[in-house]
Amino acid sequence: MMILSPLEWMFYLAALLAVVASVKVITGKNSVHSLLYLVVSLLAVAVCFYLMGAPFAAGLEVIVYAGAILVLFVFAIMMFGLGQDETLHAPKIASMRIWLGPCCIALVLLVQLLYVIDSSALQEKLTSNIIDAKQVGTLLYGPYLLAVEIASFLLLAGLIAGYHFAKPDGQYEHLNIQQSTNEKGEL
């Protein structure tokens, strides 16, 4: 029996927190609540990052993921009323049938993953190395420069696509683009 240090305790605690929060995310009925659980999950993972020796990643997780991306979620839900009807589509806990198939697949997959992880010689590999932001930055703007450029393109594409898709219908009319309004009519 191995004696765990307080920091290791913190890791397992954070990991447990992340798992529990994630489960709450996918089972939640209120989208804002689910979103807050997702923030909790992300923060817990950030703690894990820190304990794994990646303080820079932990910072990014908090600032970008929890701070920016999820705030975007919150804005979208609040401003466009996306969270109004989620109870209609939320699976009832009582009807377990819906959960049965996916859970079976997922469980088998999980068992497989765990088996693979267990069977490979990773047990003795420890993550007790701190990799700071400088190392990451050097690498990022060295060998990975091209990847960074591609990522920037991706972001640009996301920006344009987001702008384009989120425009209200009326704004298309002056461009004389045929809107597929009949989709609604057919459904």
Among 78, 139, 149, 172, interactor with other proteins by CB under 8 A: 139
| Closer CB to other proteins, 174 or 186, in the complex | 186
H-helix or E-strand spanning residue 120: none
Q: Could you say which residues in the range 102-121 bind other proteins, by CB under 8 A?
A: 102-103, 105-110, 112-119
Query: What's the DSSP call for residue 62?
Result: I
How many Cβ atoms from other residues are within 10 Å of residue 159's Cβ?
10
Alpha-carbon span 83 to 76, nearest angstrom: 9
Nearer to other proteins, 89 or 174 (CB): 89
Burial of 86 (0-12, 13-18, 19+ CB in 10 A): middle
Could you say which residues in the range 37-56 bind other proteins, by CB under 8 A? 38, 41-42, 45, 48-49, 51-54, 56
Q: Which is nearer to other proteins, 69 or 175 (CB)?
A: 69
Query: Which of 95, 128, 171, 176 is the binder for other proteins (CB under 8 A)?
Result: 128
Comparing CB distances to other proteins, the nearer of 125 and 174 is 125
d(C-alpha 46, C-alpha 154), whole Å: 24
